[in-house]
Chain A
Amino acid sequence: MTTETDPVLAEEPITGEEIELPADVEVGEIIDSPVTGTELEVISLDPVVLEEAPELEEDWGE
């Protein structure tokens, strides 16, 4: 059984290595890859799927 404090394991989409995500990770969240430094988006949690995050667009902001 998983609990809130268990780390979440995922495959780094660029290198295929296994990486650890914070326990409270959310779908839609952006994570800096500990391996490549690339911004990764959490696509789903069950199973955990990461993808390279979209590039910044001109109309992004506050």
Chain B
Amino acid sequence: MYIGVLYSRIRRDEKLLLAELRERGHEIEKIDVRRERFSLDSTTANVGDLDLVVDRCLSTSRSLYATRFLASYGVTVVNAPETAEVCADKAKNSLALAEAGVPTPATEVAFTKEAAMEAIESFGYPCVLKPVVGSWGRLMAKIDSRNAAEAILEHKETLGHYEHKVFYVQEFVDKPGRDVRVVAVDGEPVAAMTRSSDHWLTNAAKGGETESFAVDDRARDLVERASEAVGGGLLGVDLMEVGGADSGEYTVHEVNHTVEFKALNEATDVDVPARVADWLERRAAAAASDDSAADDVDEVTI
């Protein structure tokens, strides 16, 4: 198959995936989004003959636009721009989960520091303030007191660009020192790990310790529904255990659409890049048969 990879930085994750795809004999078109231009009906990127493009953009804004343009030319892109749109923004992400009935931490959005202060006071302390766009736990605040809240809100209002004036306030979830990352393809878990830390931010990017995690039925069900809620695809679903490590109850705090899998590959026995490549092959084959079905229809109507 002929597979395009949208990127601006080849991380270990992309290297693993590229190696796996090449080993299987697929032809790869690496598309550095920084070098391309996208007009309303075509692009300088060489996408014409591709069976599928996989979006591995590190930059969320580039991911959002590049996938949208490619999809408008009729190129099959995973993940779809609609999925990127929901996952790229924590407020939209939370709404999609809630609308699908997936348990997710109680969240409020407010647009002024006064309204945000009211949200914070109504959650009580501690609670959490997150930027709507961002990752790896950056610029996230656990707010322990009214004094801290006032300082953070003032800083954000004064120093932040407009997105930081969308205040995303969330209940603090008393998790057992870890959270759970499940990588899934169209809702089917590929592998999962816990990320543990003494710090309240447990993500691997913040240096949390990773360990393989067995997905139970409840988590499996939530991953499937969370995936569906954002339109499916290759996703990283993040859950926190509520009521202790063995309670079997979870809340899903977000779904990531350009998921990293290097840490997961190291933490588990699963060959994650191989499972991802399997799925890409299935998606590319499905896209090809859709195309030929469309061609058949044309032949009939002519």
Measuring CB to CB, which residues of chain A are less than 8 angstroms from any residue of chain B?
24, 26-30, 41-42, 53-54, 57-62
Q: Kindly state whether residue B251 has any CB partner on chain A within 8 Å.
A: no
Q: Does A59 lie within 8 Å of B18, measured CB to CB?
A: no
With both chains docked as a complex, state the minimum distance between the C-beta of B281 and any C-beta of chain A, in angstroms.
Answer: 21
A49-B30 Cα distance, complex, nearest whole Å: 18
A26-B138 Cα distance, complex, nearest whole Å: 28
With both chains docked as a complex, state the minimum distance between the C-beta of A62 and any C-beta of chain B, in angstroms.
Answer: 4
Stretch at the interface among B4-12, B143-151, B212-220: B4-12
Beta-carbon nearest neighbor of B133 in chain A: A59
With both chains docked as a complex, state the minimum distance between the C-beta of A32 and any C-beta of chain B, in angstroms.
Answer: 12
Q: Does B32 lie within 8 Å of A28, measured CB to CB?
A: yes
Beta-carbon nearest neighbor of B260 in chain A: A62
With both chains docked as a complex, state the minimum distance between the C-beta of B60 and any C-beta of chain A, in angstroms.
Answer: 4
Q: Does B256 lie within 8 Å of A62, measured CB to CB?
A: yes
CB-contact partner of A27 in B30, B256, B258, under 8 A:
B30
Measuring CB to CB, which residues of chain B are less than 8 angstroms from any residue of chain A?
7-11, 14-15, 18-19, 30, 32, 58-61, 131, 133-136, 138-139, 236, 256-260
Given contacts A58-B133, A60-B135, A61-B136, contact A29 B15 (CB under 8 A): yes
CB-contact partner of A62 in B8, B18, B32, B236, under 8 A:
B236
| Residues on B with beta carbons closer than 8 Å to the beta carbon of A54 | 9
| Residues on A with beta carbons closer than 8 Å to the beta carbon of B136 | 60-62
Question: 5 A–B contact pairs at CB < 8 A?
Answer: A26-B18, A30-B11, A59-B60, A61-B60, A62-B256
Given contacts A29-B15, A62-B236, contact A53 B60 (CB under 8 A): no
With both chains docked as a complex, state the minimum distance between the C-beta of B171 and any C-beta of chain A, in angstroms.
Answer: 23
| Residues on B with beta carbons closer than 8 Å to the beta carbon of A58 | 131, 133-134, 138-139
Beta-carbon nearest neighbor of B258 in chain A: A62
Of A24, A28, A29, A42, chain B has the most CB atoms within 10 Å of the CB of A28
Q: Does A28 lie within 8 Å of B10, measured CB to CB?
A: yes
Given contacts A24-B19, A28-B30, A29-B15, contact A59 B59 (CB under 8 A): yes
| Residues on A with beta carbons closer than 8 Å to the beta carbon of B11 | 30
A24-B59 Cα distance, complex, nearest whole Å: 25
CB-contact partner of B61 in A24, A26, A42, A59, under 8 A:
A59
| Residues on A with beta carbons closer than 8 Å to the beta carbon of B236 | 62
CB-contact partner of B8 in A24, A26, A28, A61, under 8 A:
A28
Beta-carbon nearest neighbor of A62 in chain B: B256
A26-B260 Cα distance, complex, nearest whole Å: 18
| Residues on A with beta carbons closer than 8 Å to the beta carbon of B30 | 26-28
| Residues on B with beta carbons closer than 8 Å to the beta carbon of A57 | 59
| Residues on A with beta carbons closer than 8 Å to the beta carbon of B257 | 62
A53-B11 Cα distance, complex, nearest whole Å: 12
